[in-house]
Amino acid sequence: MIKKEKISGVYIILNTVNGKFYIGSSSNIEKRFLHHKNSLNSEKHHSSLLQRAWLKYGKENFIFQLVEKCNIRECIVREQIWLDFHKTYSREYGY
């Protein structure tokens, strides 16, 4: 059995209808994506704004994408740089 390599970095969850997105980081992107999808599908996601958008627009209108690979120790700093650049903390741009 071949074990998949864990990828750490910064990711986005993009709403393809309105262009808004959620930015996060993780030491294991694939596992984090599964956690987000499970939470959203069970209507228990920690981001109420993202949860409402998921229910309104449907899961088929969201893309989960890695935007930057980085060392685990750099994830939080790199995530903050992306958050500041895209201003996703503003409801106008993100969740």
State the pLDDT at residue 78: 97
Buried b (16+ CB within 10 A) or exposed e, 25-42: bbebbeebbeebbebbee
Q: What is the mean pLDDT of residues 78-84?
A: 96
Q: Which of 72, 71, 73, 75 is nearest to 11 (CA)?
A: 75
Report d(CA 64, CA 24) in Å as an integer: 11
State the pLDDT at residue 9: 98
State the pLDDT at residue 47: 96
